[in-house]
Chains A and B, each alone.
Chain A
Amino acid sequence: GIQVEQSPPDLILQEGANSTLRCNFSDSVNNLQWFHQNPWGQLINLFYIPSGTKQNGRLSATTVATERYSLLYISSSQTTDSGVYFCAVASSGNTPLVFGKGTRLSVIA
C-alpha cells in the first residue's frame, strides 16, 4: 500500500517563528489532507489539498503531486499551534486515508 513519511518527527519553536512541515508519499494520490491534533486528541482538518496551493490565515499548504510531496507552512507560530500535525493520503477512488506518523510541534512562549 501507499507509504507516507513526515518530517521532522519533532519540532520546537519560539512563539513568532515560522516552520515548514513535510509529507512525502510513495504513489500518486487523489486525496491529501492535513490535520492538527490538539492535546485533547481532537483531529481538526486543516486542508484538503491533493494538488496546488491553499492558504488559511497563518497556515498555508502546497502539494506537488508529480514529485509526491506536500508542505505545510506555519507562520508567526502561537502556543495554540502546539500539537501533532498529520498528513493523510489516499491513492485512488474511495480507498481509505493512510496517515503518516505525524510531526509533534511545541511552541514555547
Chain B
Amino acid sequence: KAGVTQTPRYLIKTRGQQVTLSCSPISGHRSVSWYQQTPGQGLQFLFEYFSETQRNKGNFPGRFSGRQFSNSRSEMNVSTLELGDSALYLCASSSGTAGANVLTFGAGSRLTVL
C-alpha cells in the first residue's frame, strides 16, 4: 500500500509570494490533516478535510487555506508569505472514523521564506 505522498519536498520562496503544497493520502483514506512544525511552536494543527469538506480548523490566519478533491487528494495554499511561515508542513491521512482515527504522515514539505 502506497504511503502518504507530499510534493514538493523542498521549496524556497520570497516574502509576498504564495505557495501551494499537495498531499496524496493512502488509498481509501477520506481524511487529510495538515500540520505546521516550527522549532518555536512545535506541531500545530492547520486544518482537516473529510470527504471534500473542511471538518476542523486550527488557529491560523486566513492566508492559510486548503481544499480536498473528490479523489481525497488535498492541497494547501499560503498567500502573501511571511518569514515566519518558514516551516515543515506535514500532511497526514486517516480513515476519519471517530475513535479509530490513526494518522499516517507524509515526509513533509519544507518551506523556506526569504
- A residues near B, CB below 8 A? 30-31, 33, 35, 40-45, 48, 86, 88, 90, 93-102
Q: Which DSSP category, helix, strand, loop or mixed, fits chain B's interface?
A: strand
> Given B37, B103, B104, B107, which contacts A97 in the complex, CB threshold below 8 Å?
B103
Contact A30 B42 (CB under 8 A): no
Q: How many A-B residue pairs have CB under 8 A?
A: 56
Q: Which residues of A contact B100 (CB under 8 A)?
A: 48
Size range of the chain B interface in the assembly: 20 to 34
Other-chain residue from B43, B50, B96, B99 in contact with A99 (beta carbon distance below 8 A): B43
Q: What is the bound-complex CA distance between A99 and B105, given in angstroms?
A: 14
Interface residues of B (CB under 8 A from A): 33, 35, 37, 42-43, 45, 48, 50, 55-56, 58, 88, 90, 92, 96, 98-105, 107-108, 110
